[in-house]
A and B are shown apart, each in its own frame.
Chain A
């Protein structure tokens, strides 16, 4: 149907430039390749991927090697034979070098051959189609036609990485809307090895078809391959620009190419199994090879592009065009982005133009922000909001991220029905990414265990600031018990650069397409500063600058010094000796402070060398004053005990305050005689009236008796008790101490010490010459035997006659005087 080589009179003026250089190939289906001929009046697609524009610039993929990881490649297909590259091929399923597909009645292994044709089907050979990179070398890895294991994937992804430039994969975990799966350890290593050392250190390019589970309400964030920062996740749009029925949306999609749509939309034409040609290639499977081929054109324009350069160029050149999506937004870096299409439709010509003059972006920094491990409940029909203040690892120059590329959020959630969850992330600039949408068919109770969600929507934005994570629980009717879930942990991993990625490029030639890099984050309509056109200092914010230094910024990103001549200098942090006020200005601390919260001397946080911090006062001194002691371990002045004027430690007081007296190591209030210090009431209280001085309350606490009182058994009494006698002892000071002492045991009362000072006796005893004698009459004046007599003499001698038993035994002897 395509009217090739139209007469000039029939071509509209808008396309006159195309007509002058009209490309025509004799391949059978050339005219049916609607996604290449978008710009004419025949086809419906309104936005062009500008593939012919890239060809006209001379880029056809020459010397670029692409491999298709799939179910094999029909290497002898007439349209693939010329460009087939055995060094970019392998059969992992059978472990041999021939990737020919396995033929069967259903032709189930046609997928790889169809993908390969899109990339590098030969041009002008009358066969089938023209590949987008029709001079690239094409290979295939047969790896899906058998047990796919982690090892199989890793072998495929790491095949000949110094030879192969681009790996294209149009497969992934099940798109059933309930699977959460991704690359295992070997495949992840293969990715990391590839980007680190593939293509002689420039990094392998991994292109991945986004999920095809639109009808299953799947979400491509649950696919760890498309979610990876190392893969370029490709979405699809139909010829009409409408969203295809199979399309999944997620924040990890980077860009889009054309593919099939509804039944009335045209599909993709490409090489098919058994040397055929098909017009029925569909799905995101068709988009990934297209994207791989467009990238091949860019790599031909600049073979030195790294894996990150390629992603940057895609972000810069992809366009929303007429792609229909309800959520197109412009992020703070000025890029249009949506969850369906990423940054929009790929533009091959723009990419090669960009690639021609591209300078490598600065090295990637990876900032792993601290994890938030506080358990939070996710209540049904509510939203849980958690805010994290990211610094972008500003304290580490090797991982400091200012300008974002990818953002990864690692989340661990326990929940009874995973599909009821949806998760959003809002950047400090206000760009909201939907990390996860509800998945109707996902009834799993496994939650997410440290799953990594990725968004590209913050590309080019600033990293530091408040990041807001929102988790919604929208219970489905299929959920019987509405138990709350639990957010256990989440953390941010920020990828990007500390230097503006385009600061070394001069973009005046593309001023209309690209914003000036001095005001990268502003719309193009902003006024330009004519005097200075170079890069701004990293401490300048998005308002641009008038020169390269930090003193030339129009506004500062973090903090600033203001000088007497009213100029400013931007800094990342206020240095020691300065504090930052509410307006982010650095002001001087007091001269005694190392760091502070204000300029007064009582607003120190830490002290300068030679000064000591005073506890609870935020002040710094040279010597700790009264009431404080120097804690040499903490290098600070700490308080002495209460009432202590000077001390050597927290428990040893050496001098008390006036009115206090040192009691051991502690100070207590000095009380007047007749009073004592009550520690509970902290007052002096009167002693008992019997006490002249005392240590406490009660008559037992007397330490000295009052006038007219006598000390008896540590008590002060007015007169000696029964069984005691008054003792008066002269003291050194001339006074006489009067006390009551206990009488001898033999006395009932006495006048003095010993057994000869009794004044009265116990019953049964007679007082005789001051001694108490037994007074009982022997009932029986029996003669004691000689032995008894001797024994009784001993009893009497030893004063044992008081004992009743012995008294009776030796009655006569005991009765005698003497």
Chain B
């Protein structure tokens, strides 16, 4: 049977108002790479961290985790792999 545990990736979704420059600055501050806005969702950005485990059953912890305490970061979520099947 498929694994039921949550599988965390090394990608994060963040909401940072203030524009792409602010997002870029925060990404660099905490060691992330800013992959750009998520689709058409304003103020939402895709952050990628190359030095964290690509797939893990544990959510990632480290210096990079302090980004969640950054005042300009309104919301942040480490991305979890979802099981999706073609019909």
Q: Which residues of chain A have a CB within 8 Å of any CB of chain B?
A: 70-71, 95, 111, 144, 147-161, 170-175, 179, 181, 184-186, 189-190, 193-194, 209-212, 283-285
Chain B residues with CB below 8 A from A181, complex form: 82-83
CA distance A194 to B40 in the complex (A): 9
In the complex, A153 Cα to B11 Cα: how many Å? 14
Assess whether B83 is in contact with A284, with CB atoms less than 8 Å apart.
no
Contact B87 A186 (CB under 8 A): no
A210 and B46 CA atoms in complex are apart in Å by 30
Interface residues of B in 52-87 (CB under 8 A from A): 55, 77, 79-87
Out of B9, B77, B79, B85, name the residue touching A175 (CB < 8 Å): B85
Q: Which chain A residue has the least Cβ–Cβ distance from B8?
A: A149
User: Given known contacts A149-B79, A150-B79, A150-B82, is B87 in contact with A159 (CB within 8 Å)?
Assistant: no
Shortest distance in angstroms between B23's beta carbon and chain A's nearest beta carbon? 14
Contacting pair A148 B82 (CB below 8 A): yes
Minimal Cβ-Cβ distance residue in A for B7: A147
Whether B18 is near chain A, meaning CB under 8 Å from some CB there, is: no
Interface residues on B, range: 20 to 34
Q: Contact partner of B80 among A144, A150, A170, A210, CB < 8 A?
A: A150
23 A-B pairs (CB sep. < 8 Å): A70-B86, A149-B80, A149-B81, A151-B11, A151-B13, A154-B13, A154-B38, A154-B41, A154-B44, A158-B39, A158-B41, A174-B2, A174-B83, A179-B83, A185-B77, A190-B39, A190-B41, A193-B40, A193-B41, A209-B87, A211-B87, A283-B87, A285-B87
A764 and B17 alpha carbons, distance in the complex (Å): 109
B22 within 8 A of A: no
A154 touches B39 (CB 8 A): yes
Task: Find chain A residues with CB under 8 A from B85 CB.
Answer: 171-175, 212
A71 to B87, CA, bound (A): 12
Considering the complex, give the chain A residue whose CB is closest to the CB of B85.
A174
Which residue of A148, A151, A158, A211 is within 8 Å of B46 (Cβ)? Answer: A151
Select which of B9, B46, B79, B87 is within 8 A of A172 by beta carbon. Answer: B87
**Contact at B38–A158, with CB atoms within 8 Å?**
yes
B-side contacts of A149, CB under 8 Å: 9, 11, 79-82
Main secondary structure of the interface of B (DSSP, over half): strand
Contacts of B80 in A (CB 8 A): 149-150
* CB-contact partner of A95 in B35, B55, B82, B87, under 8 A: B35
B27-55 interface code vs A (CB 8 A; 1 in, 0 out): 00000000100111100101000000001
Q: Is the interface of A mostly helix, strand, loop or mixed?
A: mixed
Min distance, Cβ B15 to any Cβ of chain A, angstroms: 10
A175 to B87, CA, bound (A): 9
- CB neighbours of A185 from chain B (8 A): 77
A111 touches B82 (CB 8 A): no
Residues of the A chain whose Cβ atoms lie less than 8 Å from the Cβ of B40 = 158-161, 190, 193-194
Report A363 CB to chain B, min CB distance, Å.
23
- Chain B: CB-nearest residue to A181: B82
* Beta-carbon contact of A150 and B77 below 8 Å: yes
Residues from chain A with Cβ under 8 Å of B39 in the complex: 154-159, 190
A362 CB to nearest B CB, Å: 27
Q: Nearest-CB distance from B59 to chain A (Å)?
A: 13
- In the bound complex, residues from chain B placing their C-beta under 8 Å from that of A212 are 85, 87
Give the docked Cα–Cα distance between A144 and B41 (Å): 20
Pairs A-B, 4 closest by C-beta atoms: A158-B39, A158-B40, A149-B79, A212-B87
With A147-B9, A186-B44 given, is the CB distance from A155 to B38 under 8 Å?
Answer: yes
Interface centre among B2, B44, B80, B86 (most CB of A within 10 A): B86
Q: B11 contacts which chain A residues (CB < 8 A)?
A: 149, 151
Complex contacts, B83 vs chain A, CB 8 Å:
148, 173-174, 179, 181
The minimal Cβ–Cβ distance linking A95 to chain B, given in whole angstroms, is: 7
Taking CB atoms, residues of chain A closer than 8 Å to B9 are: 147, 149
Other-chain contact of B87, A148, A150, A153, A171 (Cβ < 8 Å): A171
Which residues of A lie under 8 Å from residue B35 when comparing CB positions?
Answer: 95
Contacting pair B81 A144 (CB below 8 A): no
- Give the distance in Å from the alpha carbon of A601 to the alpha carbon of B42 in the complex: 62
